[in-house]
C-alpha cells in the first residue's frame, strides 16, 4: 500500500514559476518522510504546466495519486446533479479538463463534491437521475482517455447523494465501466456506516476500490482520534490492495506536522 497526502498548488493565484517552485519543495519534503505520492486538489489544472510537474515528480520518484475536483463545485457552483442542464454541462466540461490533465500526469480523477447538493425546488429523484446521466458522460470521456474516475461516498452533512458505500457500489455496478472505481474515506465511513456491519462488508467489495482517503473521526490526522485504522487498512492490505492511501485532513497545527505525524503513525501500524 502506498502513501500520499492532499495538497493544493494555488494555481489560480500563483504564477507558473511559483507553482513549479512550490511543487518542487513539496516533493522534496514528502520524499524525506517516505511518502510515495501527492494527491492534488485543483481548481484550474489547465493553468499548470503538466510536463514540468512530471519532470519534478519523476526526479523524486513520486506519483500523483489522484486529482480532486471538489473546488469546482465550491467556487463555481457547477455540479453533475444540477437541475439546470447548462450548469450540468459546465460540470462535465470541467471534468473533461481534469481528465485531460490526469492523462498527462498518469493519475486518477475524483468524483466527490462535484455531484452537488439538491436544490430546494428540485427533487431527490430528478437530481439523482441527473448525477447518473452526467456520470455516464464522464465515464465515456474517461474511457476515451484511459483515465480512472474515483467515486467517493460523502457524509450527509456535506452532500445529499450517495452518502453510503453500498449506495455507491450499486451505482458503480449499474454504470458498469472499467474506468469507474470506488474511493473510500475513513472519515465518511465513520459518520455514515454501521460499525457492527461495515468491516465485513468492506471485505466483500474490495474489488471495487481503487483509492483511500484517511482522516480520523475528528477529521484530524490519523491516530489523533479513535477510528480503527489498523482494522480498516488491513482489510485492504489482506485483499492485495496496492493502491494509495491518501491523507485528507484538517491540516492543523500545520501541513508539515500532519504529514510527519501521519507518516510515522501509519508506517507503525501497517
Q: What's the pLDDT score for residue 122?
A: 64
**3-state SS, one letter per residue, for 87-156:** HHHHHHHHHHHHHHHHHHHCCCEEECHHHCCCCCCCCHHHHHHHHHHHHHHHHHHHHHHCCCEEECCCCC
Question: Which secondary structure element, helix H or strand E, spans residue 190, and what is its range?
Answer: helix 186-192
How many CA atoms lie within 13 Å of 231's alpha carbon, on the beta-carbon side?
13
Q: pLDDT 10s per residue in the chain (270 long)?
A: 999 999 999 998 889 999 999 999 999 999 999 999 999 999 999 999 999 999 999 999 999 999 999 999 999 999 999 989 999 999 999 999 999 999 999 999 999 999 988 766 667 778 889 999 999 999 999 999 999 999 999 999 999 889 999 999 999 999 999 999 999 999 999 999 998 899 999 999 999 999 999 999 999 999 999 999 999 999 999 999 999 999 999 999 999 999 999 999 998 888
Beta carbons within 10 angstroms of residue 168's beta carbon = 22
Cα angle for residues 33, 39, 40 (degrees, 5° grid)? 125
**DSSP character for 99?**
H
Q: What's the CA gap between 217 and 186, in Å, rounded? A: 8
Beta carbons within 10 angstroms of residue 242's beta carbon = 9
Q: Cβ(153)–Cβ(192) under 8 Å?
A: yes
Cell numbers for 55, please give them. 519532470
Cell numbers for 146, please give them. 484511459
Q: What's the CA gap between 25 and 81, in Å, rounded? A: 38
Strand (E) positions, 9-156?
37-41, 63-68, 109-111, 149-151
Q: What's the CA gap between 240 and 237, in Å, rounded? A: 5
Q: Which of 101, 4, 14, 13 is nearest to 60 (CA)?
A: 4
Q: What's the CA gap between 125 and 116, in Å, rounded? A: 14
pTM of the model: 0.96
Q: Cβ(203)–Cβ(235) under 8 Å?
A: yes
Domains in the chain, CATH or no CATH each = 2-269 (3.20.20.150)
Angle, helices 16-32 vs 255-269, to 10°: value is 30
Q: What's the CA gap between 181 and 62, in Å, rounded? A: 22
Helix (H, G, I), strand (E, B), or coil: what is residue 38?
strand
Q: What's the pLDDT score for residue 269?
A: 85
CB neighbour list of residue 263: distance below 8 Å, 6 or more residues apart: 3, 33, 34, 35
Q: What's the CA gap between 141 and 98, in Å, rounded? A: 11
Amino acid at each position: 500500500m502506498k502513501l500520499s497526502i492532499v495538497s493544493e498548488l494555488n494555481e489560480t493565484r500563483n504564477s507558473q514559476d511559483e507553482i513549479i517552485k512550490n511543487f518542487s519543495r513539496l516533493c522534496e519534503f514528502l520524499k524525506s518522510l517516505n511518502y510515495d505520492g501527492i494527491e492534488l486538489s485543483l481548481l484550474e489544472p489547465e493553468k499548470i504546466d503538466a510536463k514540468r510537474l512530471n519532470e519534478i515528480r519523476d526526479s523524486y520518484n513520486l506519483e500523483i495519486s489522484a486529482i480532486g475536483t471538489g473546488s469546482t463545485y465550491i467556487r463555481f457552483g457547477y455540479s453533475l446533479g444540477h437541475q439546470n442542464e447548462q450548469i450540468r454541462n459546465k460540470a462535465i466540461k470541467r471534468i473533461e479538463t481534469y481528465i485531460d490533465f490526469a492523462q498527462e500526469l498518469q493519475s486518477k480523477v475524483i468524483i466527490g463534491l462535484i455531484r452537488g447538493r439538491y436544490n430546494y425546488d428540485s427533487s431527490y429523484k430528478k437530481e439523482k437521475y441527473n448525477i447518473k446521466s452526467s456520470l455516464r458522460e464522464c465515464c465515456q470521456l474517461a474511457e476515451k482517455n484511459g483515465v480512472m474516475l474515483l467515486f467517493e461516498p460523502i457524509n450527509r452533512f456535506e452532500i445529499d447523494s450517495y452518502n453510503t458505500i453500498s449506495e455507491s457500489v450499486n451505482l458503480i455496478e449499474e454504470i458498469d465501466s472499467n474506468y469507474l472505481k470506488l474511493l473510500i474515506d475513513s472519515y465518511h465511513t465513520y459518520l455514515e456506516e454501521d460499525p457492527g456491519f461495515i468491516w465485513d462488508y468492506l471485505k466483500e467489495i474490495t474489488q471495487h476500490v481503487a483509492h483511500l482517503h484517511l482522516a480520523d473521526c475528528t477529521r484530524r490526522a490519523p491516530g489523533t482520534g479513535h477510528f480503527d485504522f489498523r482494522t480498516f487498512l488491513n482489510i485492504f492490505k489482506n485483499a492485495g490492495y496496492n493502491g494509495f492511501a491518501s491523507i485528507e485532513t484538517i491540516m492543523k497545527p500545520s501541513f508539515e506536522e500532519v504529514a510527519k505525524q501521519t507518516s510515522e503513525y501509519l508506517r507503525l501500524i501497517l
